[in-house]
Structure 1
Amino acid sequence: MERTVIESRISGAATFRIGKRFTFDAAHHLPSLPTDHKCSRVHGHTYTVEFVLEASELAGPGFVTDFGDLAVAGRYLAESFDHRDLNEVLDVEPTSEALAQHLARWFRAEVEPGVHGRLVAVRVSETPRSWAEYLLGESR
């Protein structure tokens, strides 16, 4: 069977997009909230983090990025955040928004230079029904 590189040709603006999800468990609290707010107290979540990458052309054998090349992000989450207090590991108040931004910056510095796709978003969920997303601009 012949393999070809798949190109996006619809109006020159179409892209391919993939996402890879990871989970970890951690505690945090938001000390800037009023003391009667439930999130001002220490509590925990099973976080879900999704890294979203895109490319206008696919690399062989037809990938935006090989999902296996994203395993390093799972290792980073496990080593840096799993079963930890996020207030002790982040330099900012550990909201989902701040965590998404931190992870996007880390990914762009540590992972993106070695993969074909471009990171376009990081989504962090504290619960199955709530999430925060950090969207990256066009420039690399």
Structure 2
Amino acid sequence: MLMRTDPFRDIDRMFEQLAGTSGRPAVMHIDAERDGDWFNVYFDLPGVDPDSIELTVERNVLSVKAQRQRFQRDGVETVISERPMGVFTRQLFLGDTLNTDDLQASYDNGVLTLRIPVSEKAKPRKISIGGGGSNPKQIRG
């Protein structure tokens, strides 16, 4: 008996592992950047109800949880269902250099934006150096 195989099966399987499936949602993709005294993080959450987004910070661990649901309508037959649905979660480990007490969050056009100020102790500072003489000055950072 000759078995035929789908040459694209392995490619489809790899794509499902990267993008997720309806049973196992995909990873919440992010970008992060430092802009002067702020650290900005952008989470892609298209189609997510803003009321379903939960943000928590505990011991410098930022957790984001969001849910996207498929709404079924009477008399409508689903023909293709590829968009990942369900609960999406992501954790970020934040350094001690960020002031999580003043974290700001906004959600617009499917993007959750977090702005976290850099703490005062992490900002660069100038250290003055005294001239040579009989009373050396101590340098503090």
Q: Which has the larger radius of gyration?
A: 2
Q: Please, what TM-score do these two structures have when normalized by structure 1?
A: 0.22
Q: Which has the higher helix share?
A: 1
Q: Please, what TM-score do these two structures have when normalized by structure 2?
A: 0.22
Q: Which has the higher contact order (CA 8 A, sep 6+)?
A: 1
